[in-house]
């Protein structure tokens, strides 16, 4: 083989190596990234900033919460559930002091502060907040643990409770409104002397 052919073969093998190393998800990500002046915030040539489309936020990756309505279950389904899972009396924490030092994730899903399910007090419907996870896969299971931590953003609360940031803000506003209404009632009772 001549030196020219060896050089050509070496170049050919280098180009094959280059194509092999540019395959896969990382290579696709590198190809899609802007290069040059676009990295420092400048627009590409000929693009008007007014006509440039805004990129949307990444959608939530978690599955939405599912609600099981008791009204939609037939009597036979309700009776089957009672037979399969009879109500048993077992020890469970009744106060915060009972469960502060317990193992986490909390195994007591029936606790009203557990984040896995919510039971509507009037209708009795069950809302499974994390249908894609099992209880032992959750990072946070107790709302009281989250409250004790304090000082977290709406985004973090939304991640913990499987809600959007906007919904967390709405719940916060409603709760603050109820608290201020309760304070107004106590002021009226003090005024009337009751």
Predicted confidence (pLDDT) per residue in 35-71, tens digit: 444 444 455 555 555 555 565 555 556 788 889 888 8
Q: Once rounded to an integer, what is the mean pLDDT over residues 76-102?
A: 87
pLDDT for residue 73: 85
Contact (CB, 8 A) for 135 and 107 = yes
Handedness of CA 8, 11, 17, 20 (dihedral sign): negative
User: Quick one: pLDDT band at residue 32, thresholds 50, 70, 90?
Assistant: low
pLDDT at 23 over 70: no
Greatest Cα-to-Cα distance within the chain, rounded to the nearest angstrom: 110
User: Quick one: pLDDT band at residue 14, thresholds 50, 70, 90?
Assistant: very low
pLDDT tens sequence across 146-179: 888 888 899 998 888 888 999 999 999 999 999 9
Contact (CB, 8 A) for 63 and 131 = yes
Residues with Cβ within 8 Å of residue 187, at least 6 apart in sequence: none
- What ranges do the domains of the chain cover? 66-149
pLDDT tens sequence across 63-81: 888 898 888 888 898 899 8
pLDDT for residue 174: 95
């Amino acid at each position: 083989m001549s030196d020219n052919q060896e050089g050509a073969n070496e170049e050919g093998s280098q180009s094959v190596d280059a194509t092999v190393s540019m395959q896969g998800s990382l290579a696709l990500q590198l190809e899609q990234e802007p290069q040059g002046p676009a990295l420092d915030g400048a627009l590409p040539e000929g693009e008007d900033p007014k006509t440039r489309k805004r990129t949307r936020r990444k959608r939530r990756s978690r599955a939405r919460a599912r609600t099981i309505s008791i009204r939609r279950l037939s009597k036979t389904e309700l009776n089957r559930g009672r037979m399969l899972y009879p109500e048993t009396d077992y020890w469970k924490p009744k106060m915060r002091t009972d469960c502060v030092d317990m193992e986490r994730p909390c195994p007591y899903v029936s606790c009203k502060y557990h984040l896995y399910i919510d039971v509507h007090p009037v209708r009795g419907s069950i809302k499974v907040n994390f249908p894609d996870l099992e209880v032992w896969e959750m990072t946070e299971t107790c709302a009281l643990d989250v409250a004790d931590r304090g000082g977290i953003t709406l985004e973090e609360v939304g991640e913990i409770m499987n809600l959007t940031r906007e919904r967390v803000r709405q719940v916060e506003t409603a709760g603050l409104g109820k608290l201020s209404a309760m304070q107004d009632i106590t002021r009226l009772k003090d005024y009337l002397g009751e």
